[in-house]
Structure 1
Amino acid sequence: MSQSDPSNIPSSTDNIHIHLAISQDQDRKSTSSTMTVPPETTPVPPSVFTPGTSPRTDEPKPTPTSTAIPIPIPPTAKPAPENEGNSTKPLALPRLRFHVEDLTHTGSAVFLSSVQAPAVLTTSIESIHKHLYDISLSSPTTTTTISSHPPKPRVITLFLRDIPGVAYTTSSDLDPAHKEIHFSLSYIASIASSRQAHEITGVLLHELVHCYQWAAQGSAPGGLIEGIADWVRLRCDLAPPTWKQDNVPEKWDVGYSGTAYFLDYLERRFGDGTVLRVNEKLGKEKTYKEKAFWTELVGRPVEQLFEDYKETLPKKGEDEGKK
């Protein structure tokens, strides 16, 4: 790939900084090796969770020295529409960086042909702010806006790498305000062709939530953190077909889609902005204490809420009996 002349970059990129870094690892093993692919994203985290990160499935390999090549937003990627008649300030984006470790990998070709990274990253960040930080509650007479303040990462780098699993998010060792999303090239290559854009966008949205959510200074249950990330994905109509609400989890904080559907029940039961308030409270609490947290938030223990939720779901064998 030839190096682009920065002077030729369209002016529409002034508010976003995307860099493509391409490097080759000559000793990389053959991409035809078999990899066990889990059905969802980051693995179930430990009991103590670091704010804004997903647990690592492995330690990141040192990134080979490479040349950063600025790339413009494709002509078809339209900038985010402005809110006409709304005095709200435009969303401040972090510097967004994009690093492809192996351009010859099949997963790289799938990613680059399925989505436009600048548009996907920008739209996903806007969706996170909409659902977790700024929501308008309308009634026939008034409109109320609930708003809280998110963490402010200065840089988010997306790495496409041949790693086990699906994806994980972490902070840079040198700068906590620099978040890194590591996305498995082998997983991307395994996605069915009819679902590539949908799945890639959903995984990126989930991982970006980890860059912007609170976690009670790392004391919140990992299952709750992962559930909030999948809840945002659910709200954005990016749930994969493998998610099934009638698969009742054993615990409310099992994580991922199991907790996401429970959170969606709370959102419908207690009203729009409930999950926003959960995240907001996680930003204020120094230590997560389960009973006090939920009682103060919605007036009852989370275990009782989970039992109420299970009563709303079909019982096993109930559907078969109706046939």
Structure 2
Amino acid sequence: MLPELTDLSTFRDLLAGAPAPDTAASQGAEERNGQLTKPPGALGRLEDLAIWYAGWRGDARPQISAPQVIVFAGNHGVTAQGVSAFPAEVTEQMVLNFQHGGAAINQLARSAGARMDVHALDLDRPTADFTQGPAMSEEELLAALQTGWSSVDPEADLLVVGEMGIGNTTPAAAIACALFGGEAADWTGRGTGVDDAGLANKTRVVAEGVALHGGNGDGLEILRRLGGREIAAMAGAIAAARLLRIPVILDGFICSAAAACLERSVAGALDHAVAGHQSAEAAHRAVLERLNKEPLLSLGLRLGEGSGAALAIHILKSAIACHSGMATFAEAGVSDG
């Protein structure tokens, strides 16, 4: 069982003391990989993924049988400034769609054999407008982190986290700009499809938020000042998975911004995570480069919800199926040279 998050210092300490991969399992997986009935390196990155996964699960010949997809939803006060093409009420409407099984992520999770959970975080109480002050108090940030932290099934063997929150590419862009530098325009995209005037307005909002809050504290403090409840909940879930040795597949721009807050708080906090895909949001690639994460897929997706990461479950399952299911040269009676 994971300890309760009593304060942000506890969260930082737990993240800093999180376990590393099991060296013996990694070495055993490497040795097994070298004995499988294929030329060395013939399965390319699938081989690296299998060894990486084996190390985190502590099993040189692992299986994936219990993936979990969690979608978090939150609303943002900054949407009052017209940063989205859709009204904030759509967040709650989409949560109902998730709960009734009608969204894309429901189909993708089902296709991947994943359990799916949905958590709506105070949708009737949006975060504060970050151009006027911090988006959340410390208590609000801790509560959102705890929601994510508590939502991870300890029996899961793979985790995907996604989000729903009208306007949330704006806080994601502000977080990325505050963490990595550059101009607001470098990190601000069209999100759900704002026009040129909308993009200019959104870029202004991001710039104002970063001017007010940038340079104040570590990644968690930036998350508090510029983020949202669903973004913080994703960070909490990713951190919990690290302590539980559950590998994580990161989703798109907003999920990656949440993850970046952890990495900027504790270096190496994302060693248990891979990037599921590169989304169509222009700044996503730049975030992944800063995190040193090469995406598994690039299909022009810009939906969020965990959709790209859920698709990538199939890639990781295939890597593990080959690694753990293939015969060795000795088992197959095939000469290895």
TM-score in terms of structure 1 length: 0.27
Higher normalized strand content (fraction of residues): 1
TM-score in terms of structure 2 length: 0.26
Higher normalized helix content (fraction of residues): 2
Which has the higher relative contact order, 1 or 2, with Cα contacts under 8 A spaced 6 or more apart?
2
